[in-house]
Amino acid sequence: MAGVSESSRGGFSNKIGFVLAAAGSAVGLGNIWKFPFEVADGGGGAFVAMYLAFCFLLCFPVMMAEIAIGRKTNKNAVGAFETNGHKNWSAVGKMGVLSGALILSFYNVVAGWAFGFALEMIAGNFEIGANFGQFISDWHINLAFSSVFMFLTIYIVMKGVSGGIEKASKILMPSLLFLILALMGYALTQDGAMEGVAFYLVPDFSEITFDVAFSAMGQAFFSLSLGMGALITYGSYVGKKDNIAHSTAMILLTDVGIAFIAGLMMFAFIYSQGLQGTSGGAGLIFTVLPSAFESLGPVLGRVIGAAFFILLSFAALTSTVSLLEVPVAYVVDEHEVRRSRAVWIVGGLIFLLGIPSMLGNGTVDFFNNFITYSSGKTVNFMTFIENLASDTFLPLGGFFIALYTAWVWRGDNFKKELEQGNPGFGDTILGKYSIFALKFLVPIILGAITMVTISDKFLGLDLLEITRNLINDLIKFINT
């Protein structure tokens, strides 16, 4: 991972080091920026219920699989499959490298917004929330902020995080958690907050469609940094005596816990500000939170608002570092480029790739209305890349990682790897469930949801309708 230079592929000093780094990768804009607007767009409680089910039932075993593959092979996402003797499967790792690059390209733009908002809060400019659309369409500002952010990311990946950022994260991540908890407490006391809580927690099962399941699944993978080999790379630094199942549980609970309370805070604020029914979208936290901070008064509002966006930027930074690390580790290991050079080249290219995402927020019409799905919905470049990389490639990566682990590397070898540092785990209910899930549950569910939605979204084929007709025809045929 990013904390270790090429000369010291030694491993984390201890288990906490690994869990902290992986949790730092997991907790980021996905929890605080993306999760609330996905919930708003997905109809509330039903989305939350599906998201939680995906995290615990499907992502838990996939996360263990990634970490186990990494520890077993000591390699990056691509090299891991080759080392294990399955060269063809390294295509999965390559898809991961591509996903990492695509995700980082737009993630860096959003991180720039968070950074910019920190400065606006310091200046006491609470109106920025209402002027969000104007803010993101001003490409000068966005270019400046996102360059700063990419530069910091490159710098840290080059130097390694084991020094400063790891120490800082031990203080700053708990501070972020504390601040969100405090804001959540405040939000819940506001008038109308409870309706927001009800929208968030009480599922309306009529809202469950393949499309919503598809976004909930993508969100689960995105938030957990799963499905693109980031945790294979991280797992390669885990010690043989470490307990993978236990670490996985801690990472998962931290990530889901922070998303959950951030959502509670957001929906309490949204409803108390009378914004219910808002379509969400990428601007949600940026439009809602500034007026919430303003309600704290001119001084406290500035302090809390600035602290919030600074800590959010920091959380984003520990995630961008892990996103950049995957393609960099690949280029360094497989193409023998010097690390310091690889970081600049890869980081620079990804930055350029992010420019259309930046310009598609009101600056250049071609990128504003980039593509129209068969549903008739037109999305901008950023949303398209997000749909493609995080909603499609990540679960697809998870699908292949599950198939690979259970059927190619084989369940018993996976079990052996998990039992190093956790003897007898394979015979516990959780151990048995995990192997079963990787064999059947994960491939079937992820495969079905991905297939149905992709063919509908991108190809305009309604597979459900086609299957229904096929079955009807079959019944008719049998009856004649």
Q: Which of 80, 284, 312, 323 is the binder for ligand TRP (CB under 6 A)?
A: 323
CB of 398 to ligand TRP, least distance (A): 11
Number of residues that bind ligand TRP (CB under 6 A): 16
Q: Which of 1, 22, 29, 161 is the binder for ligand TRP (CB under 6 A)?
A: 29
What DSSP state is assigned to residue 369?
T
Contacts 24+ apart (CB under 8 A), 131-134: 132/283, 132/286, 132/287, 133/283, 133/361, 133/362, 134/362
CB of 452 to ligand TRP, least distance (A): 22
CB of 32 to ligand TRP, least distance (A): 8
Residues 329 and 77 sit within 8 Å (Cβ to Cβ): yes
Q: Which helix (H) or strand (E) holds 35?
A: helix 35-41
Distance of alpha carbon 21 from alpha carbon 330, whole angstroms:
19
Q: Which of 17, 24, 28, 426 is the binder for ligand TRP (CB under 6 A)?
A: 28
Q: Is 429 exposed, middle or buried (0-12, 13-18, 19+ CB in 10 A)?
A: exposed
Contact between 69 and ligand TRP per CB under 6 A: no
CB of 322 to ligand TRP, least distance (A): 4
Residue whose pair of structure tokens reads 């390209």 in the numeric block = 105
Contact between 31 and ligand TRP per CB under 6 A: yes
Q: Which of 3, 24, 30, 112 is the binder for ligand TRP (CB under 6 A)?
A: 30
Q: Select from 22-30, 62-70, 125-133, 183-191 the region that touches ligand TRP (CB under 6 A).
A: 22-30
In the complex with ligand TRP, the residue whose CB is nearer, 31 or 380, is: 31
CB of 251 to ligand TRP, least distance (A): 10
In the complex with ligand TRP, the residue whose CB is nearer, 234 or 271, is: 234
Residues 313 and 119 sit within 8 Å (Cβ to Cβ): no
Q: Select from 294-302, 318-326, 402-410, 415-423 the region that touches ligand TRP (CB under 6 A).
A: 318-326
Distance of alpha carbon 285 from alpha carbon 42, whole angstroms:
16
Contact between 26 and ligand TRP per CB under 6 A: yes
Q: Select from 7-15, 319-327, 328-336, 345-353 the region that touches ligand TRP (CB under 6 A).
A: 319-327
Residues 380 and 369 sit within 8 Å (Cβ to Cβ): yes
Distance of alpha carbon 232 from alpha carbon 374, whole angstroms:
35
Q: Which of 25, 142, 248, 273 is the binder for ligand TRP (CB under 6 A)?
A: 25
What DSSP letter does each residue of 204-247 carry, written as one string? Answer: -GGG--HHHHHHHHHHHHHHTT-SSSHHHHHHTTS-TTS-HHHH
Contact between 215 and ligand TRP per CB under 6 A: no
Binding site for ligand TRP (CB under 6 A): 25-26, 28-31, 103, 222-223, 225, 228, 230, 319, 322-323, 394
